[in-house]
Amino acid sequence: MKRLLVIRWGALGDLIHASASVQALRQAYPELEVHWLTSPAYRNLVASFAGVDQVWTWGKEQGLWGLWRLAGQFRQLGVDAVINLHPSLKSILLTTLVMPRSSAVYHKEKLRSKGQAQRTMTRRHAVSDFYQPFQRLLPVLPDPLPAVPTLLPTQEQDPAPQKPNSAVWIGIIPGVGGKRSNRAWEKVAYVGLIEKLLAHNPEIQVLLVGGPDEAALVQQILDGLGKVLGSIGPRVQNLCGRYDILGTASVLAQCDVVVGGDTGPMHLAAATGVPVVGIYGPTALARTGPLAHGASRMLTPPEALACWPCEQADCPYTGEQQLACMRQITVDQVESAILAILQNPCPKRG
């Protein structure tokens, strides 16, 4: 085999999880030429993955004709095998049109039970899940996966600010995307956390990080800070939507600690080697928790709360029970986790 095509359109966290498999592949097959097909928004991110030789993109606006043209280019290139990490009609059609000599498809490990019963079950992490089709196609790959997602953003390719030597940067990622809003910690909790952190140490600066879609959420948090914002304003920076993915990675890489829920930018931060504080409720930490710096802290609801993790897109409860998994992770718990990391700094991974 000379050329391998990997298909994964998105999303951010999944792309980062899948990147570890290519790192392992490159170590075992240094001569193999690896091509990756993704969405246009993720071109630069995938290009930064160790082991990827060339990045291809396809967007919905290109339609089926675009897929047909791509398939022709891959046939002309001489793609020998395809690993489809994003099984869908379009990716299956493309694989058929490429006519590789061999192929393998990713199948997500299904959730066998929910809530308290799941906590005692052995379940593959998403990083290991994505590794399965690589091992089926190339059986000499080592087991278990010898790599973790690693991203080393370069400073020259983005306008990210540089942290002053005396500053302590705490990155906060309050958004979780629009599809699974139940993974988000409450806005009022972030307001309380910021107030406590800034009162603790005058060198602390808070960076609110996210994409353009989080602009309204971050503004609500800033509004919640109210009167105190006048005195602490310079120590709180709203960076939402200001940088592309690699620019955001460069900002996160300079932070002393990053805080957030189960979302792509949290995995982006972990891949740069920064210690993270993860706030996990409805999603399973064993499955999607960031493979992070050793100093990182993962916070989950109390053991007595039997419904977590449920991995549902929306909380089925109402009233006081609604989103109890997230609300029962307190500001004091998150602050304590952050301060513990700051008080015992460790060298960043990588």
DSSP string, 62-74: GHHHHHHHHHHHH
Residue 43 has pLDDT above 60, yes or no: yes
Judged by average pLDDT, the poorest of 147-151, 248-252, 278-282 is 147-151
Mean pLDDT calculated for residue range 16-22: 96
Task: Compute CA distances 323 → 51, 111, 120, 314, whole Å.
Answer: 40, 20, 22, 9
**177-198: burial string, b at 16+ Cβ within 10 Å, e else:** beebebbbbeeebbbbbbbebb
Residue 83 has pLDDT above 80, yes or no: yes
Would you state the pLDDT for residue 231? 65
- Indicate whether 348 belongs to any domain: no
Q: What percent of the chain has pLDDT over 90?
A: 71
- Indicate whether 142 belongs to any domain: no
Q: Tell me the H-state helices in the chain.
A: 12-28, 43-47, 63-77, 89-98, 126-137, 187-200, 215-225, 229-232, 245-253, 264-271, 285-288, 324-327, 331-343
Would you state the pLDDT for residue 349? 57
Give the DSSP letter of residue 178. Answer: S
Q: Which residues on adjacent β-strands are paired with residue 238?
A: 208
Contacts of 318 (CB under 8 A, 6+ apart): none
Would you state the pLDDT for residue 158? 55
In this structure, the answer to whether residues 180 and 322 fall within a common structural domain is: yes
- Indicate whether 149 belongs to any domain: no
- What is the dihedral sign for C-alpha 38, 289, 255, 210? positive
In this structure, the answer to whether residues 78 and 171 fall within a common structural domain is: no
Query: CA-to-CA distance for 233 and 25, rounded, in angstroms?
Result: 47
In this structure, the answer to whether residues 189 and 275 fall within a common structural domain is: yes
- Indicate whether 130 belongs to any domain: yes
In this structure, the answer to whether residues 81 and 214 fall within a common structural domain is: no
Query: CA-to-CA distance for 59 and 55, rounded, in angstroms?
Result: 13
Would you state the pLDDT for residue 301? 95
- Is 98 within 8 Å of 5 (Cβ atoms)? yes
The pTM score is: 0.92
Other Cβ atoms closer than 10 A to 166 = 6
Judged by average pLDDT, the poorest of 39-48, 190-199, 291-300 is 291-300
Would you state the pLDDT for residue 103? 97
Q: What is the pLDDT of residues 128-164, one digit of tens each?
A: 999 999 999 998 899 999 888 998 766 554 567 888 8
Would you state the pLDDT for residue 346? 66
- Indicate whether 146 belongs to any domain: no
Backbone angles phi, psi at 271, to 5 degrees: -70, -20
- Indicate whether 62 belongs to any domain: yes
Q: How confident is the model at residue 179 (pLDDT cuts 50, 70, 90)?
A: confident
Mean pLDDT computed over every residue of the chain: 91
The amino acid that residue 291 corresponds to is L
In this structure, the answer to whether residues 195 and 116 fall within a common structural domain is: no
The amino acid that residue 171 corresponds to is G
In this structure, the answer to whether residues 123 and 72 fall within a common structural domain is: yes
In this structure, the answer to whether residues 121 and 199 fall within a common structural domain is: no
Mean pLDDT calculated for residue range 16-28: 94
Mean pLDDT calculated for residue range 303-313: 90
Q: What is the CATH number of the domain that holds 128?
A: 3.40.50.2000
Mean pLDDT calculated for residue range 301-317: 90
Domain carrying residue 175: 159-343
Other Cβ atoms closer than 10 A to 308 = 25
Q: How confident is the model at residue 350 (pLDDT cuts 50, 70, 90)?
A: low
In this structure, the answer to whether residues 130 and 184 fall within a common structural domain is: no
Residue 106 has pLDDT above 90, yes or no: yes
Would you state the pLDDT for residue 156? 52
In this structure, the answer to whether residues 79 and 181 fall within a common structural domain is: no
Would you state the pLDDT for residue 123? 83
Mean pLDDT calculated for residue range 3-21: 96
Could you give the angle at which helices 264-271 and 12-28 cross, rounded to 10 degrees?
Answer: 30
Number of domains in the chain: 2
- Indicate whether 335 belongs to any domain: yes
Would you state the pLDDT for residue 341? 95
In this structure, the answer to whether residues 202 and 274 fall within a common structural domain is: yes
**282 token code pair:** 């409805």
Mean pLDDT calculated for residue range 229-250: 85
